[in-house]
Amino acid sequence: MKALKIAIQKSGRLNEKSVALLKNCGLNFENYKSSLITSVNNFPLEILFLRDDDIPEYVQDGIADLGIVGENVIQEKEVDVEYLQKLGFGKCTLKIAIPKGKNYESLQELNGKSIATSNPIILQKFLTENKIDASIRTISGSVEISPGLGLSDAICDIVSTGGTLKSNGLEPFADVLSSQAVLIGKKDIKHDSIVEELLQRIQSVLRASE
């Protein structure tokens, strides 16, 4: 039987829980930190370790059959993949935040303002849906320091505890997208018998942890 490939994050917030989920499904593999691919020795699956940003396209293009990645990354990459299962970890919300004390009363106050983000696609969709004309400054990281440096009026970034916003003098203003880690697959892969088996195991692990 030809092994399928699943792409998971190599290191970062989703790595440990992705590995733990697969192990809890009874999959036996060595989690070499240095290698980018490892074989499961009791199930027809290979695991690819990638930057999370690359996972949606790898799955869309069929280089990997399956992937575990945050919904925010899938939305930002605008890929055509199938959502197979929400996984219940990596929960966070993409939020617009403004300097504490600004007290904007409605979303309309963002008109004419600049917003720094690493998620320009999702943010632009949100602004368009809400008929707001703001300028987006795309930066790749440390988005939260942008208003303090005078680079933007507001930010749009991922929030989980809110601690980072607070320590940068910002407060949440609007929720843009709520996200968690999901299992995705390339088009039509869900009818594959190996995928069906893996999905059943994942669902029983999730049920057991409820």
Out of 52, 153, 186, 205, point to the residue binding ligand PRT (CB under 6 A). Answer: 52
DSSP states along 9-56: ESSSTTHHHHHHHHHHTT------SS-SEEE-TTSSEEEEEE-GGGHH
In the complex, the smallest distance separating the C-beta of residue 140 from ligand PRT, rounded to whole angstroms, is: 9
3 state DSSP class of 114: strand
Select the span of 106-114, 162-170, 182-190, 195-203 touching ligand PRT (CB under 6 A): 162-170
Under the binding rule (CB under 6 A), the answer on residue 156 touching ligand PRT is no
Under the binding rule (CB under 6 A), the answer on residue 179 touching ligand PRT is yes
Select the span of 17-25, 45-53, 98-106, 191-199 touching ligand PRT (CB under 6 A): 45-53
Under the binding rule (CB under 6 A), the answer on residue 77 touching ligand PRT is no
Under the binding rule (CB under 6 A), the answer on residue 92 touching ligand PRT is yes
Helices (H) and strands (E) in the chain, counts: 6, 11
Torsion angle, CA of 14/17/23/26, rounded to 10 degrees? -110
Residue matched to tokens 């303090």 = 148
CB 141 within 8 A of CB 162: no
Under the binding rule (CB under 6 A), the answer on residue 163 touching ligand PRT is yes
Please give the radius of gyration of the chain, using alpha carbons only, rounded to the nearest integer: 19
> Rule CB under 6 A: which residues touch ligand PRT?
9, 12-14, 51-53, 70, 72-73, 90, 92, 157-164, 179
> Rule CB under 5 A: which residues touch Zn ion?
52-53
